[in-house]
Structure 1
């Protein structure tokens, strides 16, 4: 990281990052540890600890876990901070929805251009984010990749949510970074589809030849919250739209149901994904 980038990070540090930095320094000094000693205990360099304490480089999720283990003193402050630190790493348009997603009991997603972020591999996410426009700094790219990967904890949550993903076939054929990155993403989809609480289906390229095609109006994500509220989230040109009005949600849910009715079966979809994952280019 350049000196200019560090200066910009310090000036633009969020309140959460500043609080974590102050708490880390105070607890480190309480334990009578130097930055180098804390770094050795947590698996980081002294310069990484210094960068975190000065807000030149905000703490990663992994660093917060290590700080909790080494100097947390049983207070749980770094564990509690993880949620807020990650929330600030998401694009502003996604922050409101991210908490709904994390606590959802049912998630039904239809994607037309890229693999749903919840299912993305690290390599796919890095290639996608790094190749976007306007371009982002390397640090911001890594923050966004980290925040995206943390969403995958949802697969392991108890009780497990029901997760359904519908992908346009074109998504399975669109590479980012390299063909190997795409093949790795497809193999990951196959593994995720094997989970008891996950269903992955594909809307075939030639669906429109049958005279009806319900997916023309774009991607959407339907969520049932733990309070059993029904909401729909959509993104259009970097604008996040959260729909909670029951008549509107009902209309979108009906459209989603029609899209699902036009997909390949789960078994047919899995066979297609496996075949594309094995193709050499």
Structure 2
């Protein structure tokens, strides 16, 4: 069974690499159609000719920003490079997260319960970088930066049209567990407050001492609940580098009920943002 799973993951990685190669070939064809050298195209999109060459030869996948500029500079309104962005970003995610990443980007509603770290959708660049670089096993510098870029790209969900409703319930202990240094953590806390003030976002804190009240629903670990673009309901669970997508209706219903209980035991949104501000030193 492990061997079959490994082959399946490798197949997914190869599919994504093939997609990236296709995108690189399309970029080369478009450039030649327009009679541009690699230096010409680089100047047009504010990159060096060597950066364009690295993409066309497959030595370096295009960044999200480069694809945006290709769409603006030579896309001619066809949307080719805009569509390509989601496939290139998928290559930068861990295999376990790739299928869910597409679901997340188009979801009507995301409800997350975080117990160890700030949910990736809410992470600042500095917090994400400290977390990724400090993990084990360590990842090469270039790969770490790819992961940071991919994680930050998920934030487009906050401003997507049509609007997605986003909820986060976070254990109080996460708010006092720093990564990088305390300045990084303070920036992360203030970012949570800012995100929690959006009309389509709710942030709540589950108090550290909730268990003293005799009822504590959050002891089974983190989860992410999703209402998909087709109005189906699924749950994504992740532990020790394994991602599990739960779609069985009975299991999903039980997890949604547990989440509802956790939400009922958490502080109100206003109380939660006040607590986060106090922990950031912004409120007495």
**TM-score, length of structure 2 as denominator length:** 0.91
Match of 2:176 in 1: 173
Match of 2:49 in 1: 46
Match of 1:77 in 2: 80
Match of 1:3 in 2: none
Distance 1:74 1:274 in 2: 44
Q: CA deviation at 1:55?
A: 1.1
Q: Secondary structure at the match of 1:14?
A: helix
Match of 1:116 in 2: 119
Check conservation: 1:104, 1:226, Cα contact below 8 A. Answer: yes
Alignment counterpart, residue 199 of structure 1, candidates 189, 199, 202: 202
Q: CA deviation at 1:58?
A: 0.5
Check conservation: 2:111, 2:225, Cα contact below 8 A. Answer: yes
Check conservation: 2:16, 2:91, Cα contact below 8 A. Answer: no
Match of 1:105 in 2: 108
Alignment counterpart, residue 145 of structure 1, candidates 118, 133, 148: 148
Match of 1:278 in 2: 281
Q: CA deviation at 1:12?
A: 11
Pairs aligned (count): 269
Check conservation: 2:123, 2:188, Cα contact below 8 A. Answer: yes
Q: CA deviation at 1:13?
A: 8.5
Match of 1:87 in 2: 90
Q: CA RMSD in A?
A: 1.6
> Which 4+ runs in 1 deviate beyond 4 A?
none
Check conservation: 1:125, 1:145, Cα contact below 8 A. Answer: yes
Q: Secondary structure at the match of 2:209?
A: helix
Distance 1:121 1:157 in 2: 18
Distance 1:14 1:134 in 2: 23
Match of 1:8 in 2: none
Q: Secondary structure at the match of 2:218?
A: coil
Alignment counterpart, residue 188 of structure 1, candidates 178, 185, 191: 191
Q: Secondary structure at the match of 2:244?
A: strand
Q: Does 1:67 align with 2:70?
A: yes
Alignment counterpart, residue 15 of structure 1, candidates 10, 14, 18: 18
Match of 1:224 in 2: 227
Q: Secondary structure at the match of 2:280?
A: helix
Q: Does 1:24 align with 2:5?
A: no
Distance 2:43 2:239 in 1: 45
**Which runs of 5 or more residues in structure 1 are unaligned?**
1-10
Relative to structure 1, is the Cα distance of residues 251 and 13 closer, same or farther in structure 2, using a 3 angstrom cutoff? closer
Check conservation: 1:168, 1:205, Cα contact below 8 A. Answer: yes
Residues 140-170 of structure 1: CA distance to partner in whole angstroms, max 9, x if unpaired?
Answer: 1111111111111111112211111000001
Q: Secondary structure at the match of 1:205?
A: coil
Check conservation: 1:13, 1:55, Cα contact below 8 A. Answer: no
Alignment counterpart, residue 134 of structure 2, candidates 131, 135, 139: 131
Deviates more, 1:177-186 or 1:98-107: 98-107
Q: CA deviation at 1:272?
A: 0.6
